[in-house]
Structure 1
């Protein structure tokens, strides 16, 4: 099941890290929710294959350690989501459809 494309309106912001919003459900380490507003990554779907990090021409992502998460113990954190140029490369290469991109 892919990322919820309506998470920005259907889910509550429950936390924030480095200025990046985190949307529910958030109950670490097992549930990490969706991180980011312009570039959203469903941390519960992300398997950390790195395809989005390699595909992004403007370095939106960096690795974030998430020890204890069942899908993977690191995630592609959209730390530089403001730099996104909306090329959709990350969305197109994500093998589990964990990324959603929408202009602000």
Structure 2
């Protein structure tokens, strides 16, 4: 199984990139031009991306009932803090399987 650190990096990169793609799609002057050539497209900005991800996570949590945006809390992976409520979390399922052995 993939390490939590690798999972966190890959998953958060995917989330941040998807948020930036949404920003590009919603600000582009011309969707046929590369975003680098479009003056209307915002530069990569983690402040904007972070706010968009937080808002999306809140909406998705409300509508779908779960999200997975992994993090560390005081050097402890989120799934070990008791804050993870995602019933589909691969790390929670792995821990419970190991505990059953």
Shared fold (TM-score, shorter chain, > 0.5): no
Structure showing greater Rg = 2
Larger % of strand: which?
A: 1
Higher relative contact order, chain-length normalized (CA < 8 Å, sep 6+): 1
TM range (shorter): under 0.3
